[in-house]
Amino acid sequence: MRNHLCQSLMVILVINISILSSYAPAQQKQVEPRDADSYTNRGIAYVEKGQYDQAISEFNKALEINPKYTEAYYNRGLAYYDKGQYDKAISDYTKALEINPRDVEAHNNRGVAYGKKGQYDQAISDFTKAMEINPRQAEACYNRGRAYEKKRPIRSRHLRLHQGSGDQPKVFWGLQQPRTCLW
């Protein structure tokens, strides 16, 4: 009886192993996405992991399927930006804006990329456009202020002296910037 029980357990074990081994290769097989959204989502996941080349490859596949897919251009721009390839990022944000000129985030991010290149006039233009589309876009407002600050060398800022209570004047630095973000 004990021998019969051992044989039965061995048969069950062999069957389970063969079933599991036939199932494992099917599970390891990767299914390729068939739509631009799937490739874009995979690309976003790669960006979040810092795997920018893989992300760019996924965004390229999405754009092969749908060349007018703004999300793929926008996110590929993020990947290029994170790699320090600002010209390519600007190009992708520009393509996204050609498709959707009211994309606030694309204007803001293109402005940031221009700022990284020291092209402050273009950056200010993009930040201003983002604020025209959405006046409560605080990030664009902040970025525009930073661009104005970086654009002007210290000597062009005005220095105000205020006579304090002692012999030493107090020094205040200020920027002459338009006041468009008031809330």
Does 181 fall in a domain? no
The count of domains in the chain is 1
Domain that holds residue 89: 36-174
pLDDT mean over 114-123: 96
Does 123 fall in a domain? yes
DSSP H stretches of helix in the chain:
2-28, 36-48, 52-65, 70-82, 86-99, 104-116, 120-133, 138-151
Distance between CA 8 and CA 14 in Å, rounded? 10
Does 133 fall in a domain? yes
Does 28 fall in a domain? no
Does 179 fall in a domain? no
Q: Can you tell me which residue has the tokens 């192993």?
A: 17
Per mean pLDDT, which range of 79-88, 108-117, 173-182 is the poorest?
173-182
Predicted confidence band of residue 15 (pLDDT cuts 50, 70, 90): low
pTM value? Answer: 0.68
pLDDT at 39: 97
Predicted confidence band of residue 161 (pLDDT cuts 50, 70, 90): very low
Q: Beta-carbon neighbour count of residue 23 at 10 Å?
A: 10
Predicted confidence band of residue 13 (pLDDT cuts 50, 70, 90): very low
Does 75 fall in a domain? yes
Q: What CATH number did the domain enclosing 105 receive?
A: 1.25.40.10
